[in-house]
C-alpha cells in the first residue's frame, strides 16, 4: 500500500514527510532518513517497503521540498545542511510517530542511507528518549560528530568493501570506537560499493548484498522495537 505526504511539527514549524502504514494498520514506528538527494522516489519506495513489512514508517524531508537534481547540487546540500536543525526534524518525526495510535512501540527505530546513515546515528545519540535503535547504511557526513560515550541504544551497520566514499578502515574505526564505549553494535561488510541498496541506480545496485542487508535489518528492527 502506497504511503502519502504529510506534515508534522518540528522546530516550531511544519515539516513535510512521507508516511507509510502497514497492511495490518498497526506496528512499530520507524524513521527513514534520506540520502543526499533528498526525499526522492527511491526513499518513498523504501518507506513503502518497510510499511509493507509491518512498520509505521515516516521519511522526514530534511530538504523541505527542495531535492537535489545533480550530484554537484547534492554535495552542496549535504555540506550546507544544518545538523542540529536536521536533528530536531528527526526528533519531531519520532514524536509524531509516537503520538499516532497506529504505532505500537514505546520508542521508534531510525535507519538511513549515505548521508542519512550518519544522521541516523546522530539522532540515536541526541534523542535516546524517543529512539531505541538505528540502522546505518554506509553512512557518511563530514559535519556529524559522534561521541561514542553518549550513544545509547543498539546499532546495525552495513558497509561495502568497495565503497569509494567510506573506506573499510574508516568504517571499522567507527564501529570499534562505538563498541569500546559499550554500545551494542553489529556490523556487516559486503562485496559491494557505495549505495548498493539503491535499486533506482543500476550502476551501483547490488541485489545480493541488498537482499541480505534487508533481511538483517528487518530482524534487527523487529528484535529492538517492542
The rounded average pLDDT for each run of 10 residues, N- to C-terminus, in the chain (226 residues) is 92 95 96 97 98 98 96 95 97 98 98 98 98 96 92 97 95 95 97 97 97 98 94
Please answer whether residues 20 and 3 qualify as being in contact, where contact means their C-beta atoms are separated by less than 8 angstroms. yes
The partner residues of 5 in beta bridges, in order of sequence, read 18
> Which pLDDT does position 2 carry in this prediction?
82
For residues 160 and 189, give the distance between their C-alpha atoms in angstroms, rounded to a whole number. Answer: 5
For residues 99 and 85, give the distance between their C-alpha atoms in angstroms, rounded to a whole number. Answer: 21
What residue ranges do the domains of the chain occupy? 4-224
- Only one residue has cell 541506480, namely 201
> Which pLDDT does position 226 carry in this prediction?
81
> Which pLDDT does position 137 carry in this prediction?
98
For residues 152 and 155, give the distance between their C-alpha atoms in angstroms, rounded to a whole number. Answer: 9
Query: What SS3 state is found at 132?
Result: strand
Q: What is the CATH number of domain 4-224?
A: 3.40.50.1820
> Which pLDDT does position 145 carry in this prediction?
87
**Alpha-carbon torsion 70, 75, 77, 78, what sign?**
positive
> Which pLDDT does position 16 carry in this prediction?
98
pTM here is 0.97
**Closest listed residue to residue 33, CA positions, set 149, 121, 96:** 121
Amino acid at each position: 500500500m502506497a504511503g502519502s505526504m504529510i506534515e508534522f511539527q518540528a522546530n516550531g514549524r511544519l515539516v513535510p514527510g512521507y508516511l507509510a502504514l502497514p497492511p495490518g494498520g498497526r506496528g512499530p514506528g520507524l524513521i527513514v532518513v534520506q540520502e543526499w538527494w533528498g526525499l526522492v522516489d527511491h526513499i518513498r519506495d523504501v518507506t513503502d517497503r518497510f510499511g509493507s513489512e509491518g512498520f509505521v514508517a515516516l521519511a522526514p524531508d530534511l530538504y523541505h521540498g527542495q531535492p537535489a537534481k545533480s550530484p554537484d547540487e547534492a554535495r552542496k546540500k549535504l555540506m550546507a545542511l544544518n545538523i542540529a536543525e536536521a536533528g530536531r526534524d528527526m526528533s519531531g518525526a519520532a514524536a509524531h510517530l509516537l503520538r499516532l495510535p497506529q504505532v505500537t512501540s514505546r520508542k521508534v527505530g531510525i535507519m538511513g542511507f549515505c548521508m542519512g546513515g550518519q544522521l541516523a546515528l546522530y539522532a540515536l545519540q541526541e534523542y535516546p528518549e524517543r529512539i531505541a535503535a538505528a540502522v546505518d547504511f554506509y553512512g557518511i557526513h563530514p559535519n556529524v560528530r559522534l561521541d561514542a560515550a553518549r550513544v545509547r541504544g543498539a546499532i546495525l551497520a552495513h558497509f561495502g568493501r568497495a565503497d569509494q566514499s567510506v573506506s573499510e578502515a574508516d568504517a571499522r574505526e567507527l564501529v570499534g570506537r562505538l563498541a569500546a564505549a559499550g554500545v551494542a553494535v553489529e556490523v556487516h561488510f559486503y562485496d559491494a560499493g557505495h549505495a548498493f541498496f539503491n535499486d533506482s541506480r543500476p550502476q551501483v545496485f547490488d541485489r545480493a548484498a541488498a537482499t541480505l542487508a534487508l533481511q538483517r535489518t528487518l530482524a534487527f528492527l523487529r528484535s529492538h522495537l517492542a
